[in-house]
A and B are shown apart, each in its own frame.
Chain A
């Protein structure tokens, strides 16, 4: 991960944001039956018999039967960046069944983590760069992080989710030039 020009005291937070973002993007891709790995495209549809038995006939492959494997998808902050994957031992065989890093799986490959020769899709990498840019000093323009700050809830009024909850986005439009004209 390129942490250049990110102050040392902000690097940990930057890595955490990137880790959380990547996990989120993997889950979003998998939910719509697509691989987050560049060049892997859509997942193969589920076998009709399997779909009938476990998914109420729905053949969309979202790797989510009981939720245990995807619940175990997480990130760990490392010295140089973040490590994303399934680290819970009981879920590793399932993850390998889909990713087939071992070469032993007989299931159709539905890769949701890139191997050493692969990478995440371009849109995911661009999101990572946007997040890191938000932590960099002296960068012109607004990042996802700046944008998120506009949405920070700053009043104590919203104890209930009712019609009175208002989230201010006052400065979104005022300060977007950096993103708009890139």
Chain B
């Protein structure tokens, strides 16, 4: 009979280290990517594409410089900046991330619909079966791969 004992304690320590760092870094990257998508006028929700353009009347007001520095495109949902600043992403426990906008406008854009036309611009995948775009996941995975490269040297 041949036997061998393998000590995996270092590997387990590395895995735990990666697990702790990974969840935090995934949250940081996800936040960055959600903001990037919305500021570029794109929904972070898979299959939703570019946000619907602003209404003609709103675009007209923008052209008349009623809102300083506001451009008709991209449709970035930014006027005062408060909505974007209200985005929070937190690692909860060891394996969950909590994501949300702490601003009433988020629900108007994301679910109820804005303006007379009730235009919905999805900011988060809150409906059953929805998820973020592959573009976002690719960026998050790239960050996790980088961290893994450092931990498992």
Contacts and interface: CB of A to CB of B under 8 A. Distances in A.
Contacts of A159: 111, 126
B84 interface: no
A4 interface: no
Interface stretch (A15-23, A85-93, A105-113, A114-122): A15-23
A153 B111 CA distance: 15
Interface stretch (B1-9, B41-49, B113-121): B41-49
Interface string B97-141: 111111000110011000000000001111111111111011011
A103 interface: no
A166 B123 CA distance: 15
Interface string A152-171: 11111011111111111110
Contacts of A148: 46, 131-132, 134, 137
Interface residues of A, number: 51
Q: Chain B's interface: helix, strand, loop or mixed, by majority? A: mixed
A169 B137 contact: no
A179 interface: yes
Nearest to B22: A173
A102 interface: no
12 contacts: A20-B49, A24-B133, A28-B135, A67-B41, A151-B132, A151-B137, A153-B131, A155-B128, A159-B126, A165-B100, A166-B99, A172-B26
Interface of A: 17, 20-21, 23-25, 27-28, 31, 55-56, 62, 64-67, 70-71, 127, 130-131, 144-145, 147-149, 151-156, 158-170, 172-173, 176, 179-181
Given A31-B74, A161-B111, 15 more contacts: A17-B134, A20-B133, A21-B135, A67-B53, A130-B138, A147-B140, A148-B134, A153-B126, A153-B127, A163-B100, A167-B96, A167-B97, A172-B144, A173-B22, A173-B95
